[in-house]
Amino acid sequence: MKLSTSEEELMNILWELKTAFMKDLRQAYPEPRPASTTVATLLKRMADKGFVAYKNEGRNREYFPLVKKKDYFAQHVNGLIKNFFDNSPGQFASFFAQEANLSKTELEALKKLIDNEIQKK
C-alpha cells in the first residue's frame, strides 16, 4: 500500500516523534502549518490504510506508527526494482552506482557494505 505525498510527510513526522498527539504533529510542520482538520483527515486515511493507530488519552488521541520506516522504504525500493529495472537488483545497483554522482568515499563505503554482505552469505 502506498501513501500520498502529504501522508508521507506526516508519516515522516510521526516516525521521528514515535508517538504524538494532534497538537504535536501540527507543531512539527514548518510554517504555514496545515489546519487541524487537514491533519485529522490525513491521519484517518493513514489509519484506514493500516499505517497508523491511536490510543485514547482522555479526550485526545495519541497516534503511533504501525509500519516501520525501513519496511516502508524497502517496499518502495523493491517496487522500483520490479517496475523500472526488470526485477533485477543488479541493474538497479549498476544504475545507482553510475548515475547517483557518488563520491569516491561514498563508493568505497558502499563497496565495503557489499563485501560485508557477501561474507555473511
pLDDT digits (tens, 9 = 90+) for 2-41: 899 999 999 999 999 999 999 999 999 999 999 999 999 9
pLDDT tens digits, 43-69:
999 999 999 999 999 999 999 999 999
- Copy the grid coordinates of residue 55: 490510543
The CATH number for 54's domain is: 1.10.10.10
- In sequence order, what are the residues at sequence separation of 6 or more whose Cβ sits closer than 8 angstroms to the Cβ of residue 22? 36, 39, 40, 43, 60, 61, 63
Sign (positive/negative) of CA torsion 79, 85, 86, 91?
Answer: negative
- Copy the grid coordinates of residue 94: 549498476
56 and 44, same structural domain?
Answer: yes
pLDDT reported for residue 76: 87
Give the CA radius of gyration of the chain. 19
Distance CA 3, CA 17 (A): 18
Report how many domains make up the chain: 2
39 and 88, same structural domain?
Answer: no
49 and 84, same structural domain?
Answer: no
Contact predicate 63/43, CB 8 Å: yes
Range of the domain at 48: 5-65
User: pTM of the prediction?
Assistant: 0.78
